[in-house]
Amino acid sequence: MLDVNALTQDLAGNAAKLARRKGGEVDLAAINELNERRRALQKERDDLVHEQRELGPRIGAAKAKGEDASELFERSGQLKSQVKDLEVAAREVKEELDQKLLLVPNLPHPEAPEGGEDEGEIRDTWGEPKSFDFEPKDHVAICDETGLVDLGEGATRLAGKSFVVYRGQGARLTRALINFFLDLHTSEHGYTEVSVPFVVNRTTMTGTGQLPKFEDDLYRIDKDDLFLIPTAEVPVTNLHQDEILPGEELPISYCAYTPCFRREAGAAGKLTRGLKRLHQFDKVELVRFVRPEESDAEHQRLLGHARKPLELLGLHYRVKELAAGDIGFSAARCYDLEVHAPGSDEWLEVSSCSTFTDFQARRANIRFKDKKGPDGKKPKTAFVHTLNASGLALPRVFVALLETYQRADGKVDVPEVLRPYLGGLETLG
């Protein structure tokens, strides 16, 4: 959520910033009108409360002198009723204002590229395309031949299309990747591992920006009004919902493994074969809470953490910064890590590394406060900045591994870094 006062102080400028992004056409004039009504009601209420407070001593003085205080008592009763009515009216306007603000996306970072989905800019590339002395296969063919993943009727019978079953060495490989990612981020990058619920309530979904705008994309448990999480970002970010964090403890960093559930409503035209787009998939998520002045530097640090496992796995990848018109609703700036799948010759997104500035923190009410302020002044409470990245999402990493390390005899080599997690296994299939 954006700061309504900052948003309305420069209506034209902020409207232009929001227009850089898809879905950024927002009626700021309506928001400004509601905010002005809220302020007017609040001022009127405060003025009456001030008058109320002044009546007390006057009534006491009149009583002490034996004077008639009936008119003062009558006025006090009128003020009490008027204040109550104004508080109800102000609360209703505030609720309407908040509902509108919840639908306003974050302001894009000034350095985010201009344009839409096709205008993202490649910032870096690591590794070289894999070359083969035989005709490489795509992961669907490899899975069919090795039996590592059931992409067909076996999974469809259980839950329908876009669900899969990992079998044998395929299941072991997913477990190995999860443990490898978690060990790397906790031991080398300083993250604290957390295990969180896979279902969350409506308040938690609202805190990170999934609700109210994207309810159609979520799996909802109607009876309990709970939601299956689309990413661990949701519960992990909300671990500090309604808290004031000690400033000296920032940055705070968490990593978590969870399955992720996405209905992908409206995305039917983008569905692709095999493991590339699923309704349920595994992911290790990285979440950081940082000081506002360190936000940009922390974003680059987080990007480095997300890149590291790809390099250790020896996978060719590139870093693409998304254009302002392609950035997610809550993010201000985002880098995608895209790994190369040589069998299909495709670039597949395996991580989105985003900074949200104070957008999520305002929605979830996550603040910080230092023990001492600058120059010995009383420290102020401020909203943290939140960041997250996939570290990494498994299915497309799985795809890239199969296609990169496939052999002519149909087997798949295991990258050396993963072998300890597979009991020393050197090949799959």
245 CB neighbour count, 10 Å cutoff: 17
Q: What percentage of the chain carries pLDDT values higher than 70? A: 98
pLDDT at 61 over 60: yes
* Domains, the chain, ordered by start: 4-101 (1.10.287.40), 117-428 (3.30.930.10)
- H runs (alpha helix) in 337-421: 359-364, 394-404
215 CB neighbour count, 10 Å cutoff: 14
Whether the upstream peptide bond of residue 197 has omega within 30° of 0, thus cis, is no
pLDDT at 358 over 80: yes
Q: Which residue numbers are catalytic?
A: 262, 277, 349, 352, 396
Instruction: Give residue-wise pLDDT tens across range 225-237.
Output: 999 999 999 999 9
Mean pLDDT in residue range 116-137: 96
Partnered with residue 57 across adjacent β-strands are none
Q: Are strands 252-261 and 192-193 parallel, antiparallel or unpaired?
A: parallel
Single out the residue of 309, 223, 222, 276 nearest to residue 402, CA to CA: 276
Q: pLDDT-based confidence at 268, cuts 50/70/90?
A: low
Confidence at residue 66, expressed as pLDDT on a 0 to 100 scale: 77
Q: Are strands 121-126 and 317-321 parallel, antiparallel or unpaired?
A: antiparallel
In angstroms, the first-to-last Cα distance of the chain is 49
| Tokens encoding 4 | 């309504």
Mean pLDDT in residue range 64-91: 85
Contact between residue 427 and residue 412 where contact means Cβ atoms under 8 Å apart: yes
Confidence at residue 267, expressed as pLDDT on a 0 to 100 scale: 53
- The HSE-up count of residue 17 (CA atoms within 13 Å, CB side) is 21
In this predicted model, which residue has the larger pLDDT, 208 or 161? 208
Q: What angle do CA 161, 414, 132 make, to 5 degrees?
A: 85
pLDDT at 195 over 60: yes
This prediction has a pTM of 0.92
The average confidence (pLDDT) of the chain is: 93
pLDDT at 425 over 90: yes
pLDDT at 76 over 60: yes
Mean pLDDT in residue range 10-22: 93
Q: pLDDT-based confidence at 271, cuts 50/70/90?
A: very low
